[in-house]
Structure 1
Amino acid sequence: MAVSFNTIPNTARVPLAYVEFDNSQAITGTPVKNNKTLVFGLRLPTGKVNAGEPTRITRKEQAESAFGRGSMLAEMLKAFLHANPYADLYALALDDADDSVHATGKITVTGTCSAAGQIALMIAGISIPVSVRQNETATTIANKIAAAINANTLLPVTASTADADVALICRWGGITGNDIDVRINYYAGETMPTGVAIDISKMDGGAGNPDISQAIAALGDTWWTDIINPFTDTANLNLLSGELQSRWDGIRQIDGLCWIAYRGTHAQASTFALARNDYLFTCIPTNIPPEPPYIWASVNAAVCTYALNIDPARPVQTLELTGIKPPAIADRWQWNERNLHLFDGLSAYNVNANGKVQLDRVITMYRVNKYNVEDVSYLDVETIKTLSYIRYAIRARITQKFPRHKLADDGTRFGVGQPIVTPATIRAELIALFTELEIQGLLENFDAYKEALIVERDANDRNRINVLSNDDLVNQFRIYAHSIQFLL
Structure 2
Amino acid sequence: MSISNLMSLNFLVPYVASKIDFSRAIRGMRGMPRRLLLVGHKLVGGTLAVNTLSTITTEADAITKLGEGSMLLAMWRDAKANADLGLPIDVIAINEGGSAVKATSALVVGGAPTVGGEVMLYIGGERVSVGVTTADTSATIATKLNAAINAMAKLPVTAAVAASTVTITARWGGPTGNDINVRTTYYPDDALATGVTLTTPAMAGGAVLPDVTPVITAMNLYRATEIVNPFTDSPNMVLFENELAARWLQNNMQDAMVVTCVRGTEAAITTWLNTRNSPHVHTIAVTNDCTSPWETAAMAGAAIESSAAIDPAVGPTAKLLGYRGPVQGAGFVVDSMNNLLAKGGSPLNIAVDYTGSLLRMVTNYKLSPGGAPDRSMAEMCWLKTMSFYRWYRVTEFQNKYNNAGYKLGQYVEQPIPGQKIMTVDLAEEIMIGLYKIFCDAGLCQNMPYYISTLKVEIDAPNGKLKIMDEPVILTQHYQTEVTSNVVAGQV
Measured against the shorter chain, the TM-score band is over 0.9
Task: Indicate conservation of the 8 Å contact 1:286/1:296, yes or no.
Answer: no
Q: Aligned-pair distance for 1:21? A: 2.6
Match of residue 192 from structure 1: 192
Match of residue 253 from structure 1: 253
Query: Which amino acid is 1:194 matched to?
Result: T
Match of residue 159 from structure 1: 159
Task: Indicate conservation of the 8 Å contact 1:3/1:418, yes or no.
Answer: no
Match of residue 441 from structure 1: 442
Q: Aligned-pair distance for 1:353? A: 4.2
Q: Which moved more, 1:22-31 or 1:220-229?
A: 22-31
Task: Indicate conservation of the 8 Å contact 2:118/2:129, yes or no.
Answer: yes
Task: Indicate conservation of the 8 Å contact 1:60/1:81, yes or no.
Answer: no
2:183 equivalent to 1:183:
yes
Task: Indicate conservation of the 8 Å contact 1:114/1:135, yes or no.
Answer: no
Measure the CA separation in 2 of the matches of 1:345 and 1:5. 58
Task: Indicate conservation of the 8 Å contact 2:326/2:354, yes or no.
Answer: no
Task: Indicate conservation of the 8 Å contact 2:226/2:258, yes or no.
Answer: yes
SS at match of 1:330: coil
Give matches, 1:7-22, under 5 Å.
Answer: 8-22=7-21
Match of residue 387 from structure 2: 388
Q: Aligned-pair distance for 1:414? A: 3.8
Query: Which amino acid is 2:129 matched to?
Result: P
Measure the CA separation in 2 of the matches of 1:305 and 1:196. 46
Task: Indicate conservation of the 8 Å contact 1:4/1:419, yes or no.
Answer: no
Give matches, 1:338-487, under 5 Å.
Answer: 338-402=337-401, 403-458=404-459, 461-487=461-487
Task: Indicate conservation of the 8 Å contact 1:125/1:290, yes or no.
Answer: yes
Task: Indicate conservation of the 8 Å contact 1:3/1:415, yes or no.
Answer: no
Query: Which amino acid is 2:80 matched to?
Result: L
Q: Which moved more, 1:386-395 or 1:343-352?
A: 343-352
Q: Aligned-pair distance for 1:462? A: 3.9
Task: Indicate conservation of the 8 Å contact 1:30/1:433, yes or no.
Answer: no
Query: Which amino acid is 2:396 matched to?
Result: R
Match of residue 47 from structure 1: 46
Task: Indicate conservation of the 8 Å contact 2:178/2:203, yes or no.
Answer: yes
Give matches, 1:287-366, under 5 Å.
Answer: 287-317=287-317, 319-366=318-365
Deviations 1:15-37 (A, max 9, x none): 21112233333332122111011
SS at match of 1:314: coil
Task: Indicate conservation of the 8 Å contact 1:105/1:201, yes or no.
Answer: yes
SS at match of 2:200: strand
Query: Which amino acid is 1:188 matched to?
Result: P
Match of residue 230 from structure 2: 230
Query: Which amino acid is 1:300 matched to?
Result: A
Deviations 1:256-289 (A, max 9, x none): 0101100111111111111100100010012121
Give matches, 1:59-208, under 5 Å.
Answer: 59-86=58-85, 87-208=87-208
SS at match of 2:60: helix
Q: Aligned-pair distance for 1:411? A: 3.2
Measure the CA separation in 1 of the matches of 2:24 and 2:84. 34
Query: Which amino acid is 1:439 matched to?
Result: D
Deviations 1:135-164 (A, max 9, x none): 311111111111111111101111111211
Measure the CA separation in 2 of the matches of 1:404 and 1:205. 64
Q: Aligned-pair distance for 1:3? A: 4.5
Task: Indicate conservation of the 8 Å contact 2:244/2:280, yes or no.
Answer: yes
The structure-2 alpha-carbon separation of the partners of 1:10 and 1:176, relative to structure 1 and needing over 3 Å to count, comes to farther
Q: Which runs of 5+ in 2 are unaligned?
A: none
Task: Indicate conservation of the 8 Å contact 1:41/1:72, yes or no.
Answer: yes
Measure the CA separation in 2 of the matches of 1:14 and 1:184. 88
Q: Aligned-pair distance for 1:5? A: 5.1
Q: Aligned-pair distance for 1:413? A: 4.7
Deviations 1:426-472 (A, max 9, x none): 1111001111100100001110110010001137x441111111111
SS at match of 2:112: coil
Measure the CA separation in 1 of the matches of 2:411 and 2:109. 85
Query: Which amino acid is 1:112 matched to?
Result: A
Measure the CA separation in 1 of the matches of 2:388 and 2:358. 23
Identical amino acids, percent of aligned pairs: 29
Measure the CA separation in 1 of the matches of 2:104 and 2:252. 43
Measure the CA separation in 2 of the matches of 1:5 and 1:49. 54
2:214 equivalent to 1:217:
no
Deviations 1:171-222 (A, max 9, x none): 1001110000111111111111111111111101111121110000000111
Q: Which moved more, 1:277-286 or 1:396-405?
A: 396-405
Q: Which moved more, 1:22-31 or 1:147-156?
A: 22-31
Deviations 1:394-417 (A, max 9, x none): 112222221331111243454321
Query: Which amino acid is 1:349 matched to?
Result: L
Task: Indicate conservation of the 8 Å contact 2:282/2:364, yes or no.
Answer: yes
Give the TM-score of the pair, scaled to structure 2. 0.96
Measure the CA separation in 2 of the matches of 1:155 and 1:11. 75
Query: Which amino acid is 1:393 matched to?
Result: Y
Q: Aligned-pair distance for 1:132? A: 1.0
